């Protein structure tokens, strides 16, 4: 983890996903007017979370955040341990 990085735990991530899920959508099914407190950072880029996936690799659980890029309108699957809380 990078110095100064504020890791987000699974429970908080899922709570943000739930809150984002009820926000209004455009006709392209993207969210509009996302409050900054409902966004996260991954690799220095701001996203809003849309889901969570847990899988297993060689018996070890893998926690994956499903993130929507707010500018590129693309979806990224990221290791939850590398997702940070967004701070303005």
pLDDT digits (tens, 9 = 90+) for 46-72: 999 999 999 999 999 999 999 999 888
52 within 8 A of 13, measured Cβ to Cβ: yes
Which pLDDT does position 17 carry in this prediction? 95
Which pLDDT does position 47 carry in this prediction? 94
Burial zone of 69 (CB within 10 Å; 0-12 exposed, 13-18 middle, 19+ buried): middle
Of residues 55, 71, 73, the one with CA closest to residue 63: 55
Q: Whole-model pTM?
A: 0.85
18: in domain: yes
Share of the chain above pLDDT 90, in %: 66
In this predicted structure, the answer to whether residue 3 has a pLDDT above a threshold of 80 is no
3: in domain: no
73: in domain: yes
Q: How confident is the model at residue 1 (pLDDT cuts 50, 70, 90)?
A: very low
2: in domain: no
User: How many independent structural domains does the chain possess?
Assistant: 1
Residues of the domain holding 15: 10-85
CATH of the domain at 59: 2.40.10
């Amino acid at each position: 983890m990078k110095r100064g990085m504020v890791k987000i735990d699974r429970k908080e991530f899922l709570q943000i996903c739930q809150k984002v899920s009820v926000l209004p959508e455009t006709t392209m099914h993207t969210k509009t007017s996302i409050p900054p407190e409902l966004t996260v950072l991954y690799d220095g880029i701001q996203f809003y979370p849309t889901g969570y996936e847990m899988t297993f690799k060689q018996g070890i659980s893998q926690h994956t955040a499903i993130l929507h890029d707010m500018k590129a309108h693309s979806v990224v699957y990221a290791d939850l341990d590398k997702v940070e809380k967004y701070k303005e």
